[in-house]
A and B are shown apart, each in its own frame.
Chain A
C-alpha cells in the first residue's frame, strides 16, 4: 500500500519533470528538471527495492550527468536560451516518431507487465557484483571497453579542434 503510493509518486515526478524538460523555454530550468526527472527514476528504483540501482542512479545520473549538463548549459548559454521556444513547425513529424517509438516500447514491455517486483529491500549488491564479474564478465568488460573508446574519442576530437584554432 505505502510502497505503491510511493512508487506512483516517484513515477509521476519522473514523467512530469521529463515533460517539463521538453516544453519549458528556459534552458537552465530544463536542465534542472532533467536532474529532477533522473532523481525520480532513482526513486522508482528505490520503491521497487533495488537499493544498489537507486544509489548508482543518484551517484552517476543526478550527481554526475545532470550536474555536467547544467554546467554545459550555463557555460554555453546565450540570452536567447532563456526565451526561445523548443518546438518549431516540424512538431507533427516529431510527435509521429515519438508515437511509433512509444508503441514499440509498449510492445516490448508488455511481456513484463504482469510481473511485479517486491517492494521489500533485499540485499542485492553482493549477487549483482557476483553476476557482473562472474557470469557476465565478458559483456561487462566489453561495455567498459566501448565506454573507454568513446571517452578517448571525445578527448581526441576536442583536442584537435583546440589545436587547429591556435
Chain B
C-alpha cells in the first residue's frame, strides 16, 4: 500500500558497522572523527538463534536506527541510493512500455501462426481466423488492464493522501501551538505515525450500537467513500494527466462529490444517537446550501473557457501577459479573485472543516455523525474527508491557479505535474492554516453567511464575468 515494510518482529539487526565500505583511494584524507554517540541502547541478540532477546526499543526505532547514525557520508550514500532507485524504477517502467509493444506484436504473430497450424491440419480455429479481430481483442484486453491500472493508481493517490495529510495536519497544528506533534514513530519527525495509526485502526474492534439500523450503519461509510473515489476520475494531476478525460469533467466532479452527504446523513440516522442525528442533519443542511455558491463560483471559469473540460480549462491559462504575468484565472479582475475566494470558503464548508465543522463539532456533538463509529469504518470517514480536501485543492489549482502552467515563463522546463502538485499542496496548507486559526461558526451564523453573503456575491461574480467577456 505504501511501499514501506515493517520489519518482522524477530528479524536480527545487521551488526553495526561504521558505514558502507570505505573508499580505498583516500582513507587518510577523511579521517573519521569519533562516531557520534548512539542515542539508543544496544539491543541484545541470542548467540544461537540470532533473534532479539532484550531491547528497550520499539520496533519502529529499528528503522530509525540507520538514519540516526551520524555522518555526512552515510547520508550521502543513502540519498544516492534513494535517487538512484527512483531513476531505476522509472527506467524499468519505460523499458516495460517497450516490452508491452513487443508482447503485442508477438501475440499477434503467435495467433496468426496458430491459425496457420490449425488450418493446415483441418482444425477449425474459431476467432483466430481473422487477424483484425484478434488485434481488436488484444487491444480490448490491454484497455481493460490499463483502466484497472489507472483505477488502482487513483485509489492509491487517495490512500497516500490520507496518510500524508493527517501527518502534515498534526505537525502543522502542533507547530502552530508551540508543540512538536508526533516525533517518535519512524525517526524523522514521526513520519511513520499515520502508517502505524492506520494499522492500529485496522486491528481495532468494530462496534455497532445495539439499537442501530445495522444495514444502514454498515453502508454509510461506503456511501461516503465511493463518491470520493469516483470524483477523482477526471481530476488533472498535470497537463493532460488524468485517469479519464470527460467532456463535462468540471460538472462531473461537482455532481459526484455532492453524493457523499447521503452517507453522512445515513450514518447520523442509523446510529440511533441524538448527537449523531444532529450532526447528520447539520451536515445535510450545510452541504446542500454551500453547494450552490460553490458551483456558481466555478461558472465564471466555465464562461472564460467556454468548456466544462478540465483539460481545456487548464490550457486556457497557459499564456503570460506582458511576457511575465501568468494568465491564471485568479488574476482575471474582478471576477477571478472574487470567485476564487468564494470557492475557497464554500470548499471549506463542503469538506466540513473548521470554521464550518458544525456537523462534527467536538464541543457540542461529541463527534457528530461519527460518534458511533470505530475502527476502519471511522477511518473511512476520515479518508473521505481528506480525499475531499485534496479534491478541492486540485480543483482550485486547475480552475484558478493555472493548473500545470509555470508561474514564470522561464520555469516552463519543470514538468507540469510538479506545478500542479505544488499548487494543490499550497492550497492544502491554506486549508490547514485556516483550520487551526479560526474559531467555529454557530449554526445560524453559518446559514446566514451562506444565504445572505455567499449566494448574492456568487451571482455578482457571474455578472462580473459576463461584463468582462462583453467589454474585453
Write the B265-287 contact mask toward A (1 if CB under 8 angstroms, else 0). 11001000000010011001101
Within 45-98 of A, Cβ neighbours of B (below 8 Å) are at 51-52, 55-56, 58-59, 62-64, 66-68, 70-71, 74-75
Q: Which applies to chain A's interface (DSSP): helix, strand, loop or mixed? A: helix
Which residues on the A side are within 8 Å of B160 (C-beta)?
none
Cβ-defined contact, B285 with A71, below 8 A: yes
Closest to A63 in B: B258
Which residues on the A side are within 8 Å of B247 (C-beta)?
51-52, 121, 123-125
CA of A29 to CA of B291 in the docked complex: distance in angstroms?
25
Which residues on the B side are within 8 Å of A11 (C-beta)?
none
Chain B interface residue bracket vs A: 20 to 34
A32 at the interface (CB under 8 A from B): yes
Within 292-338 of B, Cβ neighbours of A (below 8 Å) are at 295, 307-308
Q: How far is the CB of A125 from chain B (nearest CB, A)?
A: 5
CA of A35 to CA of B263 in the docked complex: distance in angstroms?
11
Write the A122-141 contact mask toward B (1 if CB under 8 angstroms, else 0). 01111000000000000000
Closest to A75 in B: B281
Cβ-defined contact, B281 with A56, below 8 A: no
CA of A52 to CA of B249 in the docked complex: distance in angstroms?
10
Knowing A32-B216, A67-B284, A71-B281, the reply to whether A58 touches B256 (Cβ < 8 A) is yes
Which residues on the B side are within 8 Å of A52 (C-beta)?
247-248, 251
Cβ-defined contact, A35 with B255, below 8 A: no
A14 at the interface (CB under 8 A from B): no
Cβ-defined contact, B258 with A64, below 8 A: yes
Within 1-19 of A, Cβ neighbours of B (below 8 Å) are at none
Q: Which applies to chain B's interface (DSSP): helix, strand, loop or mixed? A: helix
Knowing A58-B256, A63-B259, the reply to whether A71 touches B248 (Cβ < 8 A) is no
A28 at the interface (CB under 8 A from B): yes
Q: How many residues of A contact B (CB 8 A)?
A: 26
CA of A58 to CA of B262 in the docked complex: distance in angstroms?
12
Which residues on the B side are within 8 Å of A63 (C-beta)?
255, 258-259, 261, 288, 291
B154 at the interface (CB under 8 A from A): no
B129 at the interface (CB under 8 A from A): no
Q: How far is the CB of B463 from chain A (nearest CB, A)?
A: 16
Cβ-defined contact, A56 with B262, below 8 A: no
Cβ-defined contact, A62 with B248, below 8 A: no
- Known A55-B255, A62-B262; further 11 A-B contacts with Cβ < 8 A: A32-B216, A32-B262, A32-B266, A35-B262, A63-B259, A63-B291, A74-B265, A74-B280, A123-B247, A124-B247, A125-B248
Nearest first, the 9 A-B pairs at minimum CB distance are A63-B258, A59-B255, A58-B255, A55-B251, A123-B247, A71-B284, A55-B255, A55-B252, A55-B248
